[in-house]
Structure 1
Amino acid sequence: MKKYKKSQISKSSALSSDETNKVVQTDLSENIDILKDLFKDCSDVVFRNFIVGEVEAYLIFVDGFVDSAAIEMHGLRQLIEDIKSNRITADLLKERVISISSLGETIKLDEVVSNVLKANTVLLVDGVAKALIFDAKGGERRGVAQPETESAVRGPREGFTERLRVNTALVRHKIRSNRLKILSKDIGEETKTNIAIFYVEGLAAPELVEEVLSRLNRIKIDGILESGYIEEFIEDSPWSMFPQIQNTERPDTVAANLLEGRVAIVVDGTPFALIMPATFWQFFQASEDYYGRYHIVVFLRLLRIFLIFVALTLPSIYVAVTTYHQEMIPTSLLLSIAASREAIPFPMFVEAMIMELSFEALREAGVRLPQVVGQAVGILGALVIGQAAVEAGIVSAPTVIVVSITGIASFTIPRFNMSISIRILRFPLMILSGMFGLFGTIIGTILVLTHLCKLRSFGVPYFSPLAPLSFKALKDVLIRVPWWAMDQRPDQFVKQDQKRQGDHLMPSPPKLGDEGSSS
């Protein structure tokens, strides 16, 4: 048999077009020469040589990706001890290593390379023109823990990890139905990142699933290291400031959205899943809104909506009123503001802009520093710098109060990507109010609302169900009605099977006659 010469091997570690079509040969040395050259200078790829019966064999895997104990117990020892024959076939090997899960085989060398890099283990035996592939994944990885960015007072404490199969199992544990479909796909020419697409058959619109797959198929990039890469490639309006795809690290949030007809994407290597389509109101709803009493949830949601308006417009209204419309301020308050600004050398607009930029700088510094130090910088920095700035006559006390209230209001937004968008939009509104007063604030707010109404997320209007108006879906937007009253799924996502629960589930007190008979 013709040997594979090293002079014929490309210097690149990737398979060339000729090598892609190569198949596993019966000559083991030829297969190993090719694979060792492809994995040249890859010190983490292990070629474990041993004897099966009277025949030479190799196990190939990436150290740190696999569980060495599992390979030793379920594969290697069993092969060495149980197989004594020198006539070995692929079927015989499959019977002997049947205790290892996800057993498969291939005859293509490019699939051998791909599976090794996907943390699978490959077995090659001299005289067998097939490669056996089995799953013995392991290694040190972060376990399931409480989500750090989406903490909840009441609700599950488990969050996604960096391991794809752990994440798919967490979602499957929530929705134990054969209608839950999980499609797998690799993206990235170099990273070959595995992603999983979730949807519930019969709830998610087929055209939505097809559109998601179509957008994913258009992605051509060297690597995907986080779900944020994919988010930028598949959103409808990439130039918009507002997020059009929700991200979350909570399995219960993914499961709840799947049951409403949405599609989710989980990426290997990151705990943040993507949910689509998304609406504007979805980013102001916390997961615990669905676990607490609806009376409390109604109050908290209305409070959040008010604080969103505060976080977006309060600095611009303050600048506009104090600069152009002093007649709108009560006399006593106006005198107090004027007295506090008597020694301030800057106009109101410049003063407010300095404080807002300082506040954002402190917040960014607190995020980047270690957690304990970051909290100290955020709290002490704001107090010390604010007090020192007032005493030095750089800014006035009312401005510090307005900026502090604005910052607190922005913290009430449950989703960070929406919170940062609101924070950034404050600055254009402040510029407009500094130029045109309240007219500038109103113009800026109208432009923002117009933009929100024009946005789409996978074809779904971003401001729905308010624009266009759908009374049926308003039960879970600004407020949340009791669970026994939410008998329909959102009609902007689910076109079929909209009924989600039985009829007449409203609890009622027992009748006196029934109570007496039971006693």
Structure 2
Amino acid sequence: MFRFLFQQARRKRMLGQGRNPLGSDRQQFASSHDQSGTAISSSVAINTTYIQQLLGSPSDLLIREFGAGPRNHRLVLVSIDGLADKNVLNDDVLGMVQSGDWLQQTSLSEDGEAVLNALHHHVLSVNGIDRVSTMDDALLGVLSGNSALFVEGSIHALVLSSQGWKSRGVEEPQTEALIRGPRDGFSEDLRVNTTLIRRRLRDPNLRMDSMRIGRRSKKDVVIAYVQGVVHPGLVEEVKRRIVTIDVDDPEGSGFIEQWIADSFLSPFPQIQNTERPDKTTAALTQGKVAIIVDGTPFTLILPITIGSLVQSPEDYYTDWIISTLMRMLRFTAAFLATFLPALYIALVEYHQGMIPSKLAFSIAGSREGVPFPAVIEAVLMEVTLEVLREAGVRLPRPIGQTIGIVGGLVIGEAAVAAGIVSPIMVIVVSITAISSFALPSYTFAITLRIIRFGIMMAAAVFGLYGIVLAYVMINIHIVNLKSFGIPFSTPFAPFFRNDWKDLVVRAPVTMLTRRPQMMQTSDEVRMDKDEGK
């Protein structure tokens, strides 16, 4: 019943029908802000007053009024200090307008529309110029870092490309470090991120469709895909879900990821986030879609499967044998990070006969004097480790690393010395923590950490039978989970033989001749020489 109710609520939200009691007010707000808006007046004084009143005359609002031509024709340049590049405004706008003899003609000096056309086509040397007819379009350009030029007697304005705010440069990704591979990563600047993708993928079929979301923030979003490779229905579905975002400010790519995901009840990530341009480019060539959001260095890749969460870009920069061994090691680390504490609880509490005799005697001796059962012991250590890990993230980086390592050693040693936990429990928890760090996807590692506690409780109640039941339930959930129509368990189930070449085993590059079959791409061949078939 609860699942049905959640599905109904999600369907209403995705269709844009779920309204709160203030729906009429919201519609009225949308009609006054999101539609055509106020027309530009032929008087620059009225336009200037309108902008000042609407923005509240902020201290960073720059209004430069000047004259040009023999009759001192009146012009006004509006921009935001800190968002617009002053060099562009001084050299390419003010300098070009005031230094030329383009207004010597009498007709231009009297006709505002003629003056604006002359500025647009013959005078201004700004790279990007848009002609707008509403104040909303002009203000949106100004608030986006551009500048608006108003001409006396004209009912249009020119929005000039002059964005020049300070931004972080291209640096090495912090969350996805590689030993061998490119060192550049996405930044918070949307244009820098799109440039990094185009620099690697020089395909004329690469499409970057721009959208604006957020009722107030008007945040820029780019949907990137390769036309002729991606399935057309996937692009349409992504755009449909993004259009349904109806909030004041979608706070970064994480908010969009939660909004457009298939199931909000699943702890598994259904959309992958990355800081790496090479990883994004590789996903685009496989027929996937990337969502680039202004103001965040994390790009979204979709759809994904459980296998893609264990893969790393470094797998394709090294030999296939090494990459295969590393992938097998990651799958093993994922298993240990999920089931190792539960296996310890089940074997110690219920199935001591399955432990070798010498190891059983060693465990029994180490647990001598421990006042808690194995499940309480494991929960205490796991919770302590999670608290240390969270504290290490929040503290400054040098201090955080010290707290995470030294704090774990000190607390573990003190707990063993006090007889609260056994040394074997400290070893189990340490192996579990190290295994979770071996996974390339941070969100996937967090998911396994959450699931681990549930499996531990199942092992404490039913032993190995509880672990098996929990494993079956997890698999049922994964099989039923989808990411934009693609089963999350693909290519395990449903089974695609050709996709197994790049799953647990990474086949030689000469055998990776086809794109993933599960993506149903328009162009399946990625190499002319099809040696893998």
TM bucket, shorter chain: over 0.9
User: What is aligned with 1:439?
Assistant: 465
TM-score (norm 1): 0.93
Alignment partner of 1:402 out of 428, 436, 446? 428
- Among candidates 225, 245, 260, match of residue 219 of structure 1: 245
Q: State the distance in 2 between where 1:485 and 1:387 align.
A: 51
Q: 1-side partners of 2:457 and 2:59: how far apart?
A: 57
Q: How does 1:73-112 map to 2 (within 5 A)?
A: 73-82=91-100, 83-85=102-104, 86-87=109-110, 89-112=115-138
- Please tell me whether the aligned partners of residues 244 and 277 of structure 1 are also in contact (alpha carbons under 8 angstroms): yes
Structure 2 letter corresponding to 1:69: N
Cα deviation, 1:469-504, whole Å, max 9, x if unaligned, reads: 110111101111111110000011133211111216
Secondary structure of the residue aligned to 2:217 is: coil
The offset of 1:128, in angstroms, is: 2.0
Alignment of 1:24-423 (within 5 A): 24-53=40-69, 54-82=72-100, 83-85=102-104, 86-87=109-110, 89-423=115-449
Paired with 1:58 and 1:405, the residues of 2 have a C-alpha distance of: 67
Q: Distance in 2 between matches of 1:107 and 1:469?
A: 56
Counterpart-to-counterpart distance in 2, 1:14 and 1:43:
28
Q: Match of 2:307, SS?
A: helix
Q: Which amino acid in 2 is paired with 1:333?
A: L
State the shift of 1:454 in Å: 0.8
Letter in 1 for 2:91: M
Helix, strand or coil: the match of 1:32? helix
Secondary structure at the counterpart of residue 42 of structure 2: coil
Shift of 1:307: 1.2
CA drift of 1:331 comes to 1.5
Alpha-carbon separation, structure 2, partners of 1:504 and 1:341: 59
Task: Supply the distance in 2 between the matched residues of 1:13 and 1:370 (Cα, whole angstroms).
Answer: 43
Task: Measure, in 2, the Cα distance between the counterparts of 1:204 and 1:20.
Answer: 34
1:516 aligned partner: none
Aligned partner of residue 182 in structure 1, secondary structure: strand
Paired with 2:35 and 2:481, the residues of 1 have a C-alpha distance of 47
1:329, 1:21 → 2: CA distance?
A: 75
Distance in 1 (CA, whole Å) between partners of 2:530 and 2:464 is 50
Aligned position for 2:24:
none
Supply the AA of the counterpart residue of 1:64.
G
Distance verdict in 2 for CA 1:493–1:453, change over 3 Å: same
User: Are 1:464 and 2:480 matched, yes or no?
Assistant: no
Contact 2:44/2:152, CA 8 A, preserved across alignment:
yes
1:294 partner amino acid: W
1:212-234 per-position Cα deviation (integer Å, ceiling 9, x unaligned): 01101111011022101101111
**Paired residue secondary structure (1:281):** coil
Partners of 2:515 and 2:121 in 1: how far apart? 49
Instruction: Kindly state the Cα deviation for residue 375 of structure 1 after the two structures are TM-superposed.
Output: 0.5
Q: Secondary structure at the match of 2:150?
A: strand
Letter in 1 for 2:85: D
Shift, 1:333, TM fit: 1.4
Listed one character per residue, the Cα deviations across residues 309-333 of structure 1 (whole Å, up to 9, x for unaligned) are 1110000000000000111111121
Distance 1:265 1:97 in 2: 37
Q: How many residues align?
A: 495
**For residues 344 and 61 of structure 2, what CA distance do their matches in structure 1 show?**
63
- 1:127 offset after TM fit, Å? 1.7
Verify the 8 A CA contact 1:15 1:38 in the aligned structure 2. no
Query: In structure 1, what is the Cα distance between the partners aligned to 2:401 and 2:442?
Result: 17
Give secondary structure in 2 for the equivalent of 1:199.
strand
SS at match of 1:49: strand
Contact conserved, 1:13 with 1:39, CA < 8 A, in 2? Answer: no
Cα distance in 2, alignment partners of residues 30 and 392 from structure 1: 78
Deviates most, 104-113 or 315-324: 104-113
Deviation at 1:254, TM superposition (A): 0.8
Distance in 1 (alpha carbons) for counterparts of 2:460 and 2:251? 42
The 1:502–1:19 alpha-carbon spacing in structure 2 relative to 1, beyond 3 Å, is closer
CA distance, structure 2, for counterparts of residue 14 and residue 473 of structure 1: 47
**Contact 1:343–1:393 (Cα < 8 Å) also in 2:** yes
Deviations 1:279-303 (A, max 9, x none): 1110110111111111100000011
Question: Within 1, Cα distance between the matches of 2:33 and 2:92?
Answer: 36
Please tell me whether the aligned partners of residues 96 and 125 of structure 2 are also in contact (alpha carbons under 8 angstroms): no
CA distance in 1, matches of 2:289, 2:409: 44
| Mapped partners of 1:311, 1:97: distance in 2 | 65
Q: Secondary structure at the match of 2:308?
A: helix
Question: What runs of 5+ residues in structure 2 fail to find an aligned partner?
Answer: 1-27
CA contact (8 A) 2:144 2:163 kept: no
User: Does the CA-based 8 Å contact 1:79-1:96 persist in structure 2?
Assistant: no
Structure 1: unaligned runs, 5 residues or longer: 1-11, 507-519
Give the structure 1 partner of residue 7 of structure 2.
Answer: none
In structure 2, give the amino acid aligned to 1:74: D
Amino acid of the residue matched to residue 308 of structure 1?
Answer: A
Residues 16/450 of structure 1: CA separation in 2 closer, same or farther (3 Å cut):
closer
Q: Distance in 2 between matches of 1:483 and 1:70?
A: 48
Deviation for aligned residue 1:455: 0.5
Q: Distance in 2 between matches of 1:78 and 1:98?
A: 6
Aligned partners of 2:32 and 2:288: how far apart in 1? 40
Q: RMSD of aligned C-alpha atoms?
A: 1.8
CA distance in 2 between counterparts of 1:75 and 1:371 reads 45
What TM-score do you get using the length of structure 2 for normalisation?
A: 0.90
Aligned residues of 1:189 and 1:221 also touching (Cα < 8 A): yes
Q: Which moved more, 1:112-121 or 1:277-286?
A: 112-121
SS in 2 for 1:202: coil
Shift of 1:15: 9.3
**Deviation at residue 505 of structure 1 after TM alignment:** 7.1
Deviates more, 1:123-132 or 1:181-190: 123-132
